[in-house]
Amino acid sequence: MEFLLITLLIFSGRPAPECRINIDDPSFQNIKAALPVPPGTPIIGGLGYSGFHVKDVTDVRTTFIEIPRRSDLDLEHLLFNACRFDENLRKYVFRPVI
């Protein structure tokens, strides 16, 4: 069975939030269409939000894709909303760059 495992990379001293989007989820195809060509752009870690890690799993292969913060705001919103992450995290993920 194909699914996406999406991890929100946000350093908080706690395990990174993640969710699984199954192939029958309405947002699955939208996310797949929006993902960059693997492996994506490498993520530079640090404190706070650094991006998303997407694991695309099928019966025959697993592909890892990295989406660094602010590299594709539309995709970042799509991932955050599809996963229904805690709304308290939104202010850290989509904080304006000063």
Q: pLDDT tens digits, residue range 41-90?
A: 888 877 789 999 999 999 899 999 999 999 999 999 999 999 999 999 99
Whether residue 52 contacts residue 8, with contact meaning beta carbons closer than 8 Å, is answered with yes
| Structural domain contains residue 98 | no
The per-residue pLDDT for 47 is 79
| Structural domain contains residue 50 | yes
The CB density around residue 76, as the number of other CB atoms within 10 Å, is 21
Domain tally, the chain: 1
How far is the C-alpha of 52 from the C-alpha of 42, rounded, in Å? 11
Which one-letter DSSP state was computed for residue 16?
Answer: P
| Structural domain contains residue 78 | yes
For residue 97, name the pLDDT band (cuts at 50, 70, 90): low
Q: What is the pTM of this model?
A: 0.90
| Structural domain contains residue 51 | yes
| Structural domain contains residue 64 | yes
Q: Coil, strand, or helix at residue 77?
A: helix
> What is the domain range of residue 36?
3-93
For residue 98, name the pLDDT band (cuts at 50, 70, 90): low
